[in-house]
Amino acid sequence: MMFRSFNLKTFTMSFLLLIIILIGVGIFAGPFDDSQRATIDVDRNAQVIVDLSIDIDAPLETVWRIQTGIDQWPTWQKNVSQARLSGPIAVGSTFQWETHGLPIVSTIREVDPTRRIVWGGPAQGIEGVHVWTITSTPKGVVVHTTESWDGPPVAADPDGMRAALTSSLNVWLADLKRTAEAQKS
């Protein structure tokens, strides 16, 4: 019995020591890099997910400024008739906008300035999450967008909804490209 108790104590002490070492390594390993950053994603279980990219021959800062200049969206986007940001470009800020006659209230869920913005919210029974990333390239940037839609209207016609979302995002990306390339310095 004493032999068993000794092994259990030894095991427990060894295990605690290992935990302490692992915590210490984690604490003193230094700050995490971008690859370790927690990020919000689209709803990967949604009935519709569209994933598109476009190359833009313009500076990263120009593309970011245009994309996050929400109040200015109607001036360069064919399908956006209204857009109004309430507050700064920051997590928790909301904006009201209208596209294809559909009024939407979106909440900014993540911001990594000049690199990534995520927003989402409900609109007419559709729950959407929209992720935008901007990555520098030797010739400008790649803008990548992924959006998920779910809800009863999507369930009623997933193929039609996917086609509508794909078309809308392709127009958005083309408008962003045209506008940014016209403004590059």
Q: Is 155 left (phi over 0), alpha (psi -120 to 50) or beta?
A: alpha
Looking at residues 120-143, what average pLDDT do you find?
A: 95
Digit-coded pLDDT (tens) for 32-67: 334 335 588 887 889 999 999 999 999 999 999 999
For residue 133, pLDDT over 50 is answered with yes
DSSP assigned state of 72: G
pLDDT digits (tens, 9 = 90+) for 68-124: 999 999 999 999 999 999 999 999 999 999 998 889 999 999 999 999 999 999 999
pTM: 0.78
pLDDT computed for residue 31 by the predictor: 38
Q: What is the pLDDT of residue 159?
A: 96
